[in-house]
Amino acid sequence: MKAIRTSFHRWLPSAVALAVWGAVAHAQTPATQAPKLKLEQIQPTPVEQLPDDHLGRLIRYGKELTERTFAYIGPEVKDPAMRYAGNNLACASCHQAAATKEYAMPWLGVAATFPQYRAREDDISTLQDRINGCMERSMNGKPLPWDSREMRAFVAYITHLSKGVPIGAEIEGLGTVTTRMPNRRANPEAGAKVYAAKCASCHGEDGQGRRVGQPGDAQGYLFPPLWGPDSFNTGAGMNRLAMATRFVYANMPLGASHGNVQLTLDEAYDVAAYMLSQPRPEKAGLEKDFPARWNKPVDAAFPPYLLANPDQHKYGPFPPLVQKQQQMKAQLMEYARREQAASGAAAAGR
């Protein structure tokens, strides 16, 4: 117990973290009034059919921003004050089909799930926080002001995609698939071959994607760059191997879906590792992410490395790390229980 206490004590300021952990563990339990929904039950009105009023226009602008982010808030737009994104990706580069495709991190129903606890901040995030999380990581840029027209448009679009969804609902098909990772170190060299065979025709041999126009014209990409200076940074969720594998597995190459995968899980795992073995912009301050530590994902491959060496956190194998993490949690829980009991006994003895 003492060793655990010494090494983990600074991440466990109080019994508070324990309570949070309990809450997170039960986050899947449906609330009294919050039903479970399948993604296909959410069928928002096409934005083109919305009236030409303030809300309709704002929602349509939100969809436009999602699909052509580079043209409005990208690094090449004319007005320097509007250059919030640091790369020429679009939100829809990952959030496919204007953020309506299942297991491609869709936004359907998402407005009904915020504010929510986020491990990365170990705090409650609003929808605006979450959007700015993407702005600073996947878009390698800076946060949108919360009261800007662009932030309002994203919120309005996401809320439109959530119309009819009960607040607090659990939704199947959000995020990525939950497939378990292969129990081996990923093989980037094998992934390079998968890449050449299945990915390079769109994303380029050099992974730099295919631009629509010329650099500087803010027209973005037909197929996005997967690494290099114009791609997501090291703080993005997509920079985590299990996350990237799950995304690739259910969504790549173009045409693939959850119900119609086109790569084996091993291919997805290796090709994702190949992608993540390439250089990309560095996000500063990553050691501040997941401040509670005990809920830091095992594939978040930046310091502090809690369970293994950097290579294993980056390339796996992950199942042993997941097991270690569960043991660590159980030990922390036991430690916190004893602390509480001891302080209770001390209080009684006073």
- Residues near a second copy (CB under 8 A): 16, 19-20, 22-24, 26, 31-34, 42-45, 51-56, 58, 111-112, 114-117, 122-124, 126, 128-129, 146-147, 152, 155-156, 159, 162-168
Task: Give the residue with the Cβ less far from a second copy, 167 or 254.
Answer: 167
Q: How far apart are CA 328 and CA 195, in angstroms?
A: 37
| Smallest distance from a second copy to CB 83, Å | 21
How many CB atoms neighbour CB 206 within 10 A? Answer: 12
| Smallest distance from a second copy to CB 38, Å | 14
Task: Give the residue with the Cβ less far from a second copy, 163 or 324.
Answer: 163
| Smallest distance from a second copy to CB 55, Å | 5
Task: Give the residue with the Cβ less far from a second copy, 11 or 114.
Answer: 114
Give the residue from 349, 24, 93, 313 showing the smallest Cα distance to 181.
313
Task: Give the residue with the Cβ less far from a second copy, 57 or 324.
Answer: 57
**Encoded amino acid at 328, one letter:** M
281 to 5, 239, 252, 274: CA distances (angstroms) = 36, 11, 23, 16
Give the residue from 82, 93, 61, 64 showing the smallest Cα distance to 142.
82
Residues paired with residue 116 on neighbouring β-strands, in sequence order: 125
Task: Give the residue with the Cβ less far from a second copy, 119 or 276.
Answer: 119
Task: Give the residue with the Cβ less far from a second copy, 32 or 309.
Answer: 32
| Smallest distance from a second copy to CB 161, Å | 10
Place of tokens 């009261």: 147
Residue 286: DSSP 8-state: G
| Smallest distance from a second copy to CB 112, Å | 6
Give the DSSP H or E segment for 5. Answer: helix 2-8
How many CB atoms neighbour CB 335 within 10 A? Answer: 18
Residues paired with residue 221 on neighbouring β-strands, in sequence order: 211
**Encoded amino acid at 185, one letter:** R
| Smallest distance from a second copy to CB 315, Å | 32
Residues paired with residue 124 on neighbouring β-strands, in sequence order: 117
Phi-psi region of 214 (alpha: psi -120 to 50; beta: other; left: phi over 0): beta
Give the residue from 250, 244, 251 showing the smallest Cα distance to 226.
244
| Smallest distance from a second copy to CB 271, Å | 37
Give the residue from 163, 164, 151 showing the smallest Cα distance to 61.
151
| Smallest distance from a second copy to CB 110, Å | 10
Task: Give the residue with the Cβ less far from a second copy, 53 or 79.
Answer: 53
Q: How far apart are CA 98 and CA 90, in angstroms?
A: 10
Give the DSSP H or E segment for 116. Answer: strand 116-118
Task: Give the residue with the Cβ less far from a second copy, 160 or 203.
Answer: 160
Task: Give the residue with the Cβ less far from a second copy, 54 or 288.
Answer: 54
| Smallest distance from a second copy to CB 247, Å | 26
